[in-house]
Chain A
Amino acid sequence: MKKIILYILLVATLFATDLTIEVKKSVTTLPSLAIEDASITYSDSFKMRFFKALFADMNVLSLFNVDKHRRLTYFKATDVVVENKDKDYVLRYKMFEDDAGKLNVEVKLIEHANTVFRKNYKISKKSAYVFLAHAIAYDVNKYMGGEDIGWIKRRVVFAKVVAPLKSEIVVSDYTLTYQHTILKGGFNIFPKWATSRQDAIYFTSMDGKKPTLKYFDIRRGKITPVASSEGMIVCSDVRDDGKKLLVTMAPDSQPDIYLYDTAKRSFRRLTTFSGIDVGGQFLGTDKIVFISDRLGYPNIFMKAIEGSSVEQLVYYGKTNSACSVHGNYIVYKARESSNIFSKNTFNLHLISLNSDFIRRLTATGINEFPRFSKDGKAILFIKNYKNQSAIGVIRLTYNKNYLFPVKHGRIQSLDW
C-alpha cells in the first residue's frame, strides 16, 4: 500500500482540480456499470433515496463508470433492460419488507448476462438503509478485487454546534446520511472514538465549573469523568490499543500536550513551550506529531515522547492548524492564500516522512477536519465551498475525491 501511495506521490498532479469535467480523462478506461431497481415495496421516494446511496457508493469504489439512470426491472428477469445491453456490469437489487418489518435487499451482479455475484442483506431499521448500500459496495468491491475498503462500514462521530454554547454529539455513516444523536443538551465537544470497536467515546464537557474530559460507554449509556482542567481539556488521539491518550490541557492556563495512561490514570506532560502546543497525534510507538505556534504561526512539528528536541515537519502553508497521522503519512490543513480572509483559503496536503514531496489533495474552498481511515487508505474531510458544506472522502490510491453535500449545524469536530 505504501509503495502505491508513494508512487502516486511521485506522479500526482499538484494542482489538480475538483471539477467533475476531469472525470472524462479516466471514465473511458473503466468498465461500465448500470444499476437496476427491482424493488416491490416501499415508496418511490424511499426507493430513489436508496438508489442514490447505492449509486454514490458504486462511484466511491472507483472501479466503474457508473450509469446515473435508475432502470426498473424484475429481479428474475433473464435479460438486463435494453438500455443496459452494452454495459459491462449490471447491479440489480430488490428491496422488500419481510414479516418482521425488516428491510431486505437481494442483490446480484450481472456480467454479460451471467450472474457472477449474489447476496441477500437485511437490516431492522429502515432509516439505516445507507449501511446496506455500504455493505453492498464493500462486497462488490471485494468481488472485483478492489483495494480493501473496510472503512466504508466504519462510523463517524462528530459534534455539531446548534446554538452558542449548545451542541450535540452525533454518530453517522461515513457520508453523514444516517445520523444518530447520542448526546443532546449542554455543551459537549471534541468527541473521539475510545475503542477500535467504536462502542465508546471520549469527549469534553464544558458544562461544569471546569472543562472535563469524559468517557462515554455508548452501549451501556454510562458516562464517567476522566479529568478536569482549567481553560481547556481535549482528547486529541487514542493509541490503537486504547491504553494511552494524548490530551491537550492547561492546568496552569498554558495549553500543552500530556500523555495519559488509562490504567494508571496518570498524566505526563510532553511539551513545555510557552505558546500553544495542541493536537498531539501518535506517530508509531515513540513519537508524537503536534501543532505549535513556536515559529509565530501554527505549524506541524514532531518530537520523541522521551526526548525534548522538536523537529519542524512542514515547510509549506501559512496557517497549518490541523493534521491527521497514519504510519509515515501526515495530512494537514494549510492556508495558502496570502490574503487572510480570501476565498479558496484552506487546502489539505499530504506529506510523507520518507520524502520531501507534498501532494495537494484539494483545490477549492475551505477544507478542514482531515481524518485518516484506520487503514490509512482514505481521508475524510469537510469542505465548505460557495456557502455549501460537504463531507468528502479522498481515495489516495485512486487519487479521487467524492463529496456528499450535508445540511446540518456547524461541525465542531469529528473523528472516524
Chain B
Amino acid sequence: MKKTIFSSVAVAILLLSGCSSKQPAVDQKSTETTVQQEQNSNAGEAQEVATEEVSSDMQEVGSENVAKSQTNEMSMEELQSKFKTIHFDFDKYNIRPDQQPLLEEDAKIAKEAPAELKIRLEGNCDEWGSDEYNFALGLKRAKSVKQGLVAHGVDTKRLTLISYGESNPVCTEHTKECWAKNRRVDFKVLP
C-alpha cells in the first residue's frame, strides 16, 4: 500500500518594467570556467502541502485462512532462498560460463516447486550506467535468465520479468567487488 503526498508549486513573482539596454564587452574566448556557489546545507526545503492517506480498515480474517497463508509464505520464502542469484559482466547480458551450473540448479528448483507459484526474475545493474539504458540492461539480463530456464524445461508462463536498473543495490560501496555483486538477476517467488 503506498502513500502519496503531493502538492503544487506556486511561485508568484511580481514583475515591473525595465529600462534601456547597454551591451557590455564580452570576451568569447573558448575557455571553460567554473564558478562555484557554496550552497546551504539544508537546501532541501520541500514542504508537504497536502497529504493523501490511503485508509487502512482492518478486516476480520478467519484463523484458518491466516494459518494457511502463513504456511504458504514460509514455504515460499524457503523456496526463494534456494535460488542462486545469477551474476553478469560489466555492460553484458549474456550468461557467463561460470554461471551456467547455477542457472541449471535454478531450473531444477523451479521445476520442483509447486506449479501454481510464479517466479519473477528481477534484473539489476551496477551504478555505472544512467537513465534508461541501465533499466534495459537489467531487463535483458532477466530475459537471458528466463531463456536459460525455459531451455531447461521451466514453463515460460510461470516466469515474469522486471528491471530495477541500479535502484536496488545489494552493496553500496564504490568498489569493483561491490559493483560485481550488483550486476545480477534475483529470483522472487510469487503466489
B-binding residues in A (CB < 8 A): 8, 11-13, 16-20, 22-23, 25-26, 29-31, 49, 52-53, 55-56, 59-60, 62-64, 88, 111, 116-125, 127-128, 131-132, 135, 139, 142-145, 155, 161, 164-165, 167, 170-171, 175-187, 189-190, 199, 206-207, 210-211, 216, 218-219, 221, 223, 230-232, 234, 236, 248, 250, 253-255, 275-279, 291, 297-298, 319, 321-322, 333, 340-341, 345, 361, 363, 368-369, 390, 397-408, 412-413
Whether B7 lies near A255 (C-beta < 8 A) is no
B24 adjacent to A164 (CB under 8 Å): no
> Are B179 and A278 in contact, CB atoms less than 8 angstroms apart?
no
CB distance from A79 to the nearest CB of B (A): 21
- Residues of chain B from 37 to 68 with CB closer than 8 A to chain A in the complex: 37-41, 43-48, 50, 52
Check B70 for interface membership: any CB of A closer than 8 A: no
**CB <8 Å contact, A20 and B34:** yes
Q: Of the listed stretches B78-86, B100-108, B109-117, B155-163, name the one at the interface; the rest are far from the partner chain.
A: B155-163
Q: Report the minimum CB–CB distance from A357 to chain B (whole Å).
A: 13
CA–CA, A55 to B91, complex, Å? 42
Q: Is the CB of B34 within 8 A of A401?
A: yes
Q: Considering only CB atoms, which chain A residue lies closest to B176 in the complex? A: A341
Q: What's the least CB distance linking A367 to chain B, in Å?
A: 10
- The answer to whether A144 and B21 touch across the interface, beta carbons within 8 angstroms, is yes
Q: Which residues of A contact B135 (CB under 8 A)?
A: 232, 234, 248, 255, 278
**Complex Cα–Cα for A29 and B31 (A):** 13
* Interchain CB contact under 8 A, A279 and B11: no
Question: From residue 1 to 40 of chain B, which have CB atoms closer than 8 A to chain A?
Answer: 2-40
A23-B35 in contact (CB<8A):
yes
A-chain residues with CB within 8 Å of residue B179 when the two chains form the complex: 341
Q: Taking the nearest CB of chain B, how far is it from the CB of A152, in angstroms?
A: 12
CB <8 Å contact, A369 and B32: no
B51 to chain A, nearest CB (A): 9
CB-contact partner of B26 in A18, A63, A176, under 8 A: A63
The 29 listed contacts between A and B (C-beta, < 8 Å) are A23-B33, A23-B35, A31-B25, A55-B37, A56-B35, A64-B24, A118-B19, A121-B15, A122-B14, A123-B13, A124-B10, A125-B11, A143-B22, A144-B22, A145-B24, A171-B9, A180-B46, A184-B48, A187-B167, A206-B162, A207-B2, A231-B139, A279-B132, A319-B91, A321-B131, A341-B128, A397-B28, A400-B33, A407-B44
Asked if B137 is an interface residue, CB under 8 A from chain A, the answer is yes
Quick check: B34 and A19 within 8 Å, CB to CB? yes
Q: Quick one: given A52-B38, A408-B44, are A276 and B32 in contact (CB under 8 Å)? A: no
- A-side contacts of B27, CB under 8 Å: 25-26, 29-30
> Max chain A CB contacts within 10 Å: which of B46, B133, B161?
B133
- With most chain B CB atoms within 10 A of its CB, the pick from A125, A369, A397 is A125
- Decide if A405 touches B38 in the complex (CB within 8 Å): yes
11 additional contacts, CB 8 Å, given A23-B33, A121-B14, A400-B32?
A11-B30, A29-B25, A31-B25, A63-B26, A190-B132, A230-B160, A234-B135, A248-B135, A250-B136, A340-B91, A405-B36
Task: With both chains docked as a complex, state the minimum distance between the C-beta of B47 and any C-beta of chain A, in angstroms.
Answer: 7
A224 to B132, CA, bound (A): 22
Contacts of A170 in B (CB 8 A): 46
Whether the pair A276, B24 counts as a contact (CB closer than 8 A) is no
Given A144-B21, A184-B4, CB of A164 within 8 Å of CB of B168: yes
Check B35 against A402 for contact (C-beta < 8 Å): yes
B113 CB to closest chain A CB, in angstroms? 20
Q: Which residues of A contact B30 (CB under 8 A)?
A: 8, 11-13, 16, 399
CA–CA, A184 and B137, complex, Å = 27
